[in-house]
Amino acid sequence: MSRKQFRQHAVKSSRNIAITTAVALLATALIGISVSSDPIAGLKSFIYILNGALIFPVAYSILSDRQHVRLFMYSVLIGGIMALIIGYSQLILAYLTTDGGLWSYWAHRWSYIFYGDDLSRIVLNANTWFSYYPDQPPTLRMFSTFTDAHAFGLYALFAMVPLVWHVIRRSDKAPVLSDDDDHIGNIGWTWTLIAFFLFSVILSGTRGLWLGIAGPILFFAFLFFFNFLKKNSHAITLAKVGLVFIILIPISSLFLAIPQFQFRSEFDSFKTFKRFSTVTDIDELSNKSRIAIWQAAIQSIGKHPMLGVGLGNFPVVLEQNVKDAKAGSSAHNLYLNIATEMGLPALILVGFLLLILARIAIRMIHLNSRYTTSLTLAVALSLVWAFTYSIFDIALLDARVFIVVLSMIALLCAQRRRESPVKT
């Protein structure tokens, strides 16, 4: 067997293993519904996940073509910029109106358009649109067209993938020689847009997302020290993205020190740092509630280790109505949520799929291909960041975030197929 044939066989085997694992995961979820307290809610959740998962084979088929990759990247970027414009418009409103005025205006007018009647009623009474500090007026958490700030911050990470891909490719000293090189624009404007996206992540007030940057830092450090990341220029560019994010944190603190919602208060230039410092404060209300939820989830896993309480039935763990899932009742940890609702076998299957994905990403990064390596690095940055953040929340299952995440994963797998075509 030649080296090329061996590589084709390995790709085909990996693909078959991944498909089998994914089918087993869906089967586990479906079986678990039969033992749930609310099978209808479980079936709705299953249809939701299956409907989203069907995007993967479509995207996988389409994105093996470089021309389609370019169109996909432009679509992601344009959608992200639109969400960004609305997000920063909200921020401007925060300095021109009262908190009640913004709340009422957005909940009664825009929420209905974006979310429909049922969900708009929920976010009217329960949302994550504001940050609260002791002895300080509330501060807006940028959420744009999303139901909450967590999902918006996560979406912003993926919307900047085309920009990060662009700056990584431009970091190569080799000249642009082919039509495959996309021209998003001037490199200075590209970095400016990256800064705006990263600034919106900070202004979303999502502490778990701020901490999530530790994931890509460790991942790329591993690649660099074990010589998977061949070009220093790539490592430097990725480090610059992280540095921009870190520099923007104190800038955001100064920015948020300006009183919002027409409140009069003392100038506090440490708001972002104060919010960040609460991460380790177990007496802080949000942290205390999250720890209590994690404890309840772990106890539930101990009682139902094989099939869980049923997909979409997490609220029963907290002795709540299953309908409260729409209002955000969850384990606040994607992996705990999976184990609680579908059992430990499902969590193991998800972990195995993530290992397959990591293996594909590392192989693509190690290739001596300017196009594939830079694309994989850009996608991996957001994926690793998102999966690290998922330790603290399940925002990855938000409809728009879920779709773009599956599309990005399909993009990686499609590049693997293109680099090592499989004969069927």
**What span, in angstroms and rounded, lies between the C-alpha atoms of 17 and 9?**
12
Contacts 24+ apart (CB under 8 A), 6-9: 7/420, 8/420, 8/421, 8/422, 8/423
Residues 6 or more apart in contact with residue 345 via CB below 8 angstroms: 28, 306
User: Which of these ranges, 68-82, 239-253, 312-326, has the smallest mean pLDDT?
Assistant: 312-326
pLDDT: which is higher, 207 or 200: 200
Fill in the DSSP letter of residue 315: G
Is pLDDT of 179 > 60? no
Average per-residue pLDDT for the chain: 86
Is pLDDT of 412 > 90? yes
**What span, in angstroms and rounded, lies between the C-alpha atoms of 358 and 381?**
12
**What span, in angstroms and rounded, lies between the C-alpha atoms of 265 and 288?**
28
Mean pLDDT of all residues in 304-325: 90
* DSSP string of 116-127, one letter each residue: -HHHHHHHHHS-
Mean pLDDT of all residues in 296-313: 96
Do 376 and 364 touch, CB atoms closer than 8 A? yes
Residues in the chain: 424
Helix (H) or strand (E) holding 44: helix 39-53
**What span, in angstroms and rounded, lies between the C-alpha atoms of 292 and 57?**
39
The residue behind tokens 């080296």 is 3
- Residues 368-380 have pLDDT tens digits of 788 999 999 999 9
CA distance to 106, 110, 120, per residue, from 123 (Å): 10, 11, 5
Burial label, 4 (beta-carbon count in 10 A; 0-12, 13-18, 19+): exposed
The rounded percent of the chain whose pLDDT value lies above 90 is: 57
The rounded percent of the chain whose pLDDT value lies above 70 is: 85
270: three-class secondary structure by DSSP: coil
* pLDDT interval class at 281 (50, 70, 90): low
Which two structure tokens, joined as six digits, stand for 388? 């690290």
- Residues 130-158 have pLDDT tens digits of 877 666 677 888 999 998 899 999 999 99
- Residues 215-227 have pLDDT tens digits of 999 999 999 998 8
The residues with which 130 forms a beta bridge, in sequence order, are 140
Q: How many CB atoms lie within 10 A of CB 68?
A: 15
Is pLDDT of 18 > 70? yes
Is pLDDT of 171 > 90? no
* pLDDT interval class at 84 (50, 70, 90): very high
**What span, in angstroms and rounded, lies between the C-alpha atoms of 386 and 186?**
28
Helix (H) or strand (E) holding 138: strand 136-140
Structure confidence at residue 227 (pLDDT): 85
pLDDT: which is higher, 8 or 344: 344
Structure confidence at residue 266 (pLDDT): 58
- Residues 232-271 have pLDDT tens digits of 889 999 999 999 999 998 888 887 777 777 666 555 556 6
pLDDT: which is higher, 273 or 394: 394
Determine the residue type at 279. V
Q: Where are the domains of the chain?
A: 3-96+128-419
R_g (Cα) of the chain, nearest Å: 22
Q: Alpha carbon 346 to chain centroid distance?
A: 20
Mean pLDDT of all residues in 4-9: 52
**What span, in angstroms and rounded, lies between the C-alpha atoms of 209 and 391?**
10
Q: How many helices (H) does the chain have, and how many strands (E)? A: 19, 2
Q: Alpha carbon 306 to chain centroid distance?
A: 28
Structure confidence at residue 116 (pLDDT): 77
Determine the residue type at 110. W
**What span, in angstroms and rounded, lies between the C-alpha atoms of 91 and 107?**
16
β-strands 136-140, 130-133: how paired?
antiparallel
Q: Alpha carbon 3 to chain centroid distance?
A: 37
